[in-house]
Amino acid sequence: MAIESARQRRVLITGANRGIGLTLAKHYKATGWNVVAAVRNPAAASEVHACILTILDVSLQLHALQVESILTLDVSNEESIHAAACTLGADVPIDLLINNAGVLTRDSLASASKAELLRQFEINAVGPFLVARAFLPNLERAVATSVRPPILANVSSIVGSMSLNTTGQNYGYRSSKAALNSLTKSLSVDLGARGICCLLLHPGYVQTDMTDHRGDMDVHESIAGLAAVLAKATFDDNATFFHTNGSVIPW
């Protein structure tokens, strides 16, 4: 198939309704990309933290950005993922798929429950795998229509690094992100053979709702770093775990 020389690049971002996901959507829209925003419930109310807290409809926020499309996608629901992929259509190329949606439940040896451990695995590890598989035809379409390899970027966390774990705690979050890392490594083999680059990204300890705004990094600083990493990435970086500052994190 002939490569399209002037096709506008397209990014699909899960969890695009707030925090890192919404800021990524704003960044890529501002830099000329087509943005497909995937959110669990577009009609749900969301708090946007600026100087004051304002209740806004998620869909209104994203429509205001003039994103290309808004997909209803719940990463914990396989039927929802399949429906979102069907809504977009397999012939729409995706140059960058960012699996950003995730959940954090702080726990300890005493407090960690089976239900919360499984929920975090379902959302943080299984969900991104199912999303990657559902939108694989779109990534493959990008292989055929772009001179650059498409990228599957899974947002992980440095706490998922087994070699750097010296503090324990947060059993569900740590282990689910370690599982995501392992899944991404396997995907880098299977999708790499199809010309798709698979990366892991640590956004930093970011001041978002997920961290109760206790992070040490502003979301805009985090996204600037992640965007720079993604812009420089080549197929040689397949299966690399990147910090937002550009350094490589050990498994």
Instruction: Give the span between the Cα atoms of 155 and 201, in whole angstroms.
Output: 5
> 165-224 pLDDT, tens per residue?
999 999 999 999 999 999 999 999 999 999 999 999 999 988 766 556 666 688 999 999
**What is the distance of C-alpha 130 from the center of its chain?**
13
* pLDDT tier at 6, thresholds 50, 70, 90: low
Q: pLDDT value at position 42?
A: 82
CB atoms within 10 A of CB 52: 6
What lies within 8 Å, CB to CB, of 225 at 6+ separation is: 203, 204, 243, 244, 245, 246
Q: pLDDT value at position 49?
A: 28
List the domain boundaries for the chain. Answer: 10-243
> 127-140 pLDDT, tens per residue?
999 999 999 999 99
Return the structure tokens found at 90.
């397999």
Instruction: Give the span between the Cα atoms of 21 and 77, in whole angstroms.
Output: 19
Instruction: Give the span between the Cα atoms of 145 and 238, in whole angstroms.
Output: 20
Instruction: Give the span between the Cα atoms of 171 and 174, in whole angstroms.
Output: 5
Question: Angle, to 10 degrees, between the axis of helix 114-121 and the axis of helix 171-190?
Answer: 30
> 10-52 pLDDT, tens per residue?
999 999 998 899 999 999 999 999 999 999 988 753 432 232 3
pTM here is 0.90
8-state DSSP, 125: I
Q: Which stretches does DSSP call E strand in 142-234?
A: 151-155, 197-202
Out of 3.40.50.720, 3.20.20.60, 1.10.1370.40, 3.30.390.50, the CATH code matching 10-243 is: 3.40.50.720
9 backbone dihedrals φ, ψ, rounded to 5°: -75, 155
Residue 62 has pLDDT above 80, yes or no: no
Bridge partners (DSSP) listed for residue 151: 96, 197
Nearest to 96 by CA among 45, 31, 50: 31
Contact 12, 98 (CB under 8 A): yes
Return the structure tokens found at 117.
């451990």
